[in-house]
Structure 1
């Protein structure tokens, strides 16, 4: 019998526009997931400091008050917030996938970090193409962000939001023999009345990923309360006009596409758990494996450039081209965290 892997999907409200408050809540949820026996816990898209709801709420000239706060509360990879999350992963011996607004110089990126149970950063990825209004705030990732990485729980990949509607991006992930996929979503309680943005359409896309990729898919979402909607007020102090309530749809789908968790109330915070048997993937792929035996490379093929791209390439004799993301991971992955330094000094 295969060893079961317990995964946890977070459904919770961030402390809006508050980097430290949301980080503290992250640590509490990691502890709760570990206490529930989870080997892996998944957080939503831009969990820290919360999805920038203002982008969809107001014209650009009315967003400036929010933009400055969003920059100030975005996460630097080498900052204390990531160090604290790494420490929590190590303390509880749990793999963590967390979404956050990453600040790199003067630019922001919609990022996800895969942190191993030893606290090491296994992957930092940036959303390949921010969606619609998001492009006014965030920069783009590159092909190196479309990657499945080996972890203690299996071959793990992650995408965010409408990356799950990009057929070629999905196919590039399927082709890497992904076993567990984290689908990070924002609050589904904004613009939920728009058919393409409705929870029903979004969960259908998430379920389709499980079916096409023959992978376990962990969907994690933010929620928004009535008080949270007031964090993005109109000029009259009313809630953001795009708020449609709740928005929590955390769940796990199996490689056969069926939902294997019981859904929570969309307005209630919580964690859903599922026990995964990776052997089920073989049975699913035996029927349909779109990037394997069910492919027809003589008819259609994917051209996939997964090389990292950097805006500056130094050509000096002693310099080698480096990617900013790779350099950042290398730096934080090899240097001790603050807690390790403190322990060493005692």
Structure 2
């Protein structure tokens, strides 16, 4: 970590998406980016699944062995509100980031052109108005597997900024010790944890990760009232009996000693900001450096497969010597 800038102002943006309305959410995100930039923020984190939405409390008509036509229609609507990377939605966010002169990281629901599988993704955009990359959640949690697929090791990026290295681990991926270690090994300085966990136990986990890594930790969550959902969803009745506030938030900024610098924010939308003294990482790692003097490579090592995994590998077999030999034998 050879930082040109010793301090940086960061923000976690706890906001409510416009559910099943990605154009409206993109517009809101751009406005929030501009607002945070007005306070001098150079790194902004939005919640998990902010673009595309997290349909908490819905099961889209699914029971074990049963799917309903109504649930299929609502999933189609959810799919249509997911985004491609790159695409017009990322172009809009990139333009806002360039205007703000800031790094923007946001949870998005991602789709690909050739499949109907969705991914829970962390999107990274630079102050130059370019998409830097993405991280796809490796393991959707519980019923999330109804709507999201699994990422692979090819999207575990860490990006170098003027103030240090940044990377993201999404929600309950943070409970995967090997993944945390893999990210620590890449030299993270600011550990980004977009989430949809509003439990008190999440706060304990985030403070533990700050202490374990001796990085700065930013965790960002949604404030989600039931009123954010359109009432014309065919499965809207699945929300009956749910509380008016489905999700309380809990966004926070934590220093390398596990102490709060901003937040946690509860029960409302808001932006928590903090000025990070990047040199504090050196102070914290004086007696515990999880990737340095507190490792034992003679006892244990971690191997990470970062190859892209694909079910389809097309080869022109007519060019293969084996294929030609088979033809000659015939």
TM-score (norm 2): 0.86
Partner residue, 1:288: 288
Pair member with larger Rg = 2
Contact 2:6 2:279 in 1 (8 A): no
Look up the SS of the partner of 2:154 in the other structure. Answer: helix
1:76 maps to 2:84 = yes
Contact 1:42 1:218 in 2 (8 A): yes
Change (3 A) 1:153 1:310: farther
Q: Cα distance, 1:104 vs. partner?
A: 0.5
Change (3 A) 1:156 1:230: same
Change (3 A) 1:176 1:242: farther
- List per-residue Cα deviations over 1:266-288 (Å, max 9, x = no partner): 22111000101111111111111
Partner residue, 2:325: none
Change (3 A) 1:131 1:235: closer
- Greater share of helix: 1
Contact 1:57 1:240 in 2 (8 A): no
Q: Cα distance, 1:69 vs. partner?
A: 1.2
**Which stretch of the first structure deviates more once superposed, 301-310 or 7-16?**
301-310
Partner residue, 1:211: 211
1:94 maps to 2:102 = yes
Partner residue, 1:142: 152
Structure 2: 5+ residue stretches without partners = 318-330
Partner residue, 1:331: none
Structure 1: 5+ residue stretches without partners = 189-198, 318-346
Alignment RMSD (CA, Å): 2.4
- List per-residue Cα deviations over 1:147-183 (Å, max 9, x = no partner): 3221233200101110000000000001111001111
Could you tell me how far apart the structure 2 residues matched to 1:237 and 1:298 are? 54
Partner residue, 1:185: 195
- List per-residue Cα deviations over 1:111-147 (Å, max 9, x = no partner): 1111110011222111111111111211111112223
Correspondence list, 1:30-179, <5 A: 30-55=33-58, 59-60=62-63, 61=67, 63-105=71-113, 106-179=116-189
Could you tell me how far apart the structure 2 residues matched to 1:135 and 1:73 are? 18
Counting matched residue pairs gives 307
Look up the SS of the partner of 1:168 in the other structure. Answer: helix
**Which stretch of the first structure deviates more once superposed, 59-68 or 215-224?**
59-68
Q: Cα distance, 1:313 vs. partner?
A: 2.8
